[in-house]
Structure 1
Amino acid sequence: MTDAAVAFPDRSAGLSFRALTPADVDAWLDLIVRMAEADRPIWFERREDLEEVFASTKNDPERNSLIGFDDTGTPRAFGRVTMNEGSSKAYTWGGVDPAWRRRGIGTAVYQWQEARARQRGNGLILRTYAEENNEGHNALLKRAGNEIVRYWTEMTRPLTEPIPEAALDRGLAFADFSDQISEQIRLAHNEAFQDHWGSEPRDQESWRFTVSHPDFRPDWSLAVVDTGSGEVAGYHIASLDPNYAKTHGYSEGYTELLGVRNQWRGRGIAPAILAEAMRRYKSAGIDHAGLQVDTENPSGAHGLYEALGYGPTHRTFTYDKALAD
């Protein structure tokens, strides 16, 4: 497919569009904050996430992003299309300033994203995530011919409740996260999730961003090591969103990634990891432990989390649209 630029939406909605540049980060972040104040999402980007768009070697913003400005030079909408090398899926990200909604801007941005995705590959799936409580976003995606293909549940657990007793088997031990073990954890994650729905391998660049992000908490992140072989059997990557308490009323230590490699499954590693994470959160003065679960995951993870005291708070939908050759 050609990689020439896709024409930006015209000014029929009152905005002038162009590609995002590093000089836009401050104004772009202000737009995201305005959207978050109205939509109250589970999570929203911070400056480092926006800066990473221009630092990454993938998904060149010049061809894979747009931002729309009103006549005062204030950004009112943006969109991006991302895709991992060799993947059959492209992803859309974006939004519209709450004061500029219901003017067809979101539809125009999505149509541009679809055109760009078609340009990047034959027969791709165009994938978008939408939170259940964002009615406008869900309506737009359905009008554009998308279908819900997966449901994700955010779960939380107050740390005022007793932390479960869950110990590791003999021959297994906790190891704190460190630079020395980071690559082993990345490889363990790719192996543990190779058959999980929608999962794609984490390359070294994306992993480096994950474990250097300001929200990442190495003191709450760990591995379970087989003491005989020295191999990583399971792992836990944790984060703390500084905006979460302002939006939801409590602080939450969050499980970003949790996995156990096949040959060590069935030995209670996951509950032992989560109990250890809870102890670390609580000792740091955190109010809740949180995570996300694939509602249709056949591994029984949802039941495990409920047994450990987690309860549902929000849902997110995965929408897909098949782009014909």
Structure 2
Amino acid sequence: MASRFICVVVYLSDDDADRSYRQIQRGLITVSNPVRPNLVPTPRNGSSAASNDAPPRHIGIIMDGNGRWAVRHGLLRRQGHRRGFSRLPAVIDTAADLGVSWLSFYCWSTENWNRPVAEQCCVLGLIRQFVHTQLPYWQDRGLRFAWSGRRDRVGHQVHDQLVSAERVTANNSGMTVCLCVDYGGHVELAHAVCELARHAAAGRLNPARIDEKHIRTFLYQPDMPDVDLLIRTSGEQRVSNFLTWQSAYAEMSFPSTLWPDFSPSHLHQAIREYVDRDRRYGGLSAAVIPQGTTKDVVVGTRTSGSRDDETSVTA
């Protein structure tokens, strides 16, 4: 008797496909050779895939729109913040599944202290509760936690919870979840400059030899890679003092979605747009390299072997 093979193809939405893949990883669904949903656009015109086809190494997210979401739904601002924090686990899960190395959230800025005391207490309390409840799961997944920001003003309960989470997850090798709490890019750079000046005054550092590596050494998280993709929800198009040093070459995404409505499908879309962009770092795109160039041209890096490699040119 001839054997028969039946193949059933099921088309899933982005959210369903992502949810199914996570279930496969956790052993809730058993399949042979599971395939991750593809985020990389199909190369056009028969060309090879762009060199930017990998997911971003570091994604920074400005979670904007909690208050406006609450107003639209006839709720209090604190309910908007609570809803906003409820979106983080799914976004973290998705980013970790995609192979992102760092995922940073702008939770509380140095300027947010100008908000009413009740809102300050609400948001800082939600930060503490969020880290406390998520820590066991981060441990199970091998995720690392990092805190970027000032550590002298958030209150001892929040401080102790964040520091403890850093210590407990320090040896984990998975994605780093970074919460930027009491963070401001200008304050971070001022802190680094003060530390450099102190070391120079003590004779431990030659001021004439200070370079970018020395500055990075004194940032809040020296091992934090540069931001590849910066997402700000709610449609506002500004970076608001977020990771100022690290975002110098970041690709920007400004979806109109308010943060409490942000989902894994929105993250997928932002990454699709990211991988379809041409990151040149001051070099030339392959499409505009002059014919007859005799030296190798490095595209998408900060160095170039072209004849004009000492001249800054905007293509």
TM-score, normalised to structure 1, is 0.28
Higher helix share: 2
Higher strand share: 1
Which of the two has higher C-alpha Rg? 2
TM-score, normalised to structure 2, is 0.29
